[in-house]
Amino acid sequence: MPVARLRSVVLDCPDPRALADFYAQVAGGSPQAEDDDWVVLQVPDGPRLSFQRAEGFTPPQWPRADQDSQQFHLDFDAGSTWEEIDVAHEKVLALGARPLDLEDREKKDFQVYADPAGHPFCLCRIEHP
């Protein structure tokens, strides 16, 4: 029996509303602001993401293994073909994402980006049976 049930993945950021809006456009859902410092996004059929204002926020560095490392990242299934990934790529760039690693995608089956606050996330190609 588990000790507890996962409630949220929480991302620190300088602007919770803006980052919640970014992820709502990437993954779906409608952000709900509890106040200026905390916004919640329930992803349809997915996790609850929360965004917390952090004064003096410093974005994680990717890829690094020292104290400024990414600590964690989010993976998104973006389709089973590279054409679908290319469409998703254009959409996240238009939303304010920044590419971090687009090389060797055929070998890795993913591409790495930073969200507008600098958190790494991946668009993944998923092979369906």
Q: Domain residues for 109?
A: 62-129
| pTM for the whole structure | 0.80
* pLDDT tens column, 89-109: 999 999 999 999 888 877 888
44 and 12, same domain (yes or no): yes
Which of 31, 55, 79 is at the close of a domain? Answer: 55
The larger pLDDT score, comparing residue 100 to residue 73, is at 100
67 and 129, same domain (yes or no): yes
70 and 47, same domain (yes or no): no
Of the pLDDT bands very low, low, confident and very high (cuts 50, 70, 90), residue 21 is very high
Q: Pick from 64, 59, 23: which is nearest to 40 by CA? A: 23
Which of 55, 81, 99 is at the close of a domain? Answer: 55
Q: Is the CB of residue 51 less than 8 Å from the CB of residue 16?
A: yes
Cis omega (within 30 of 0) for bond into 2: no
Alpha helices in the chain (DSSP H): 16-27, 82-94, 105-108
Domain tally, the chain: 2
66 and 42, same domain (yes or no): no
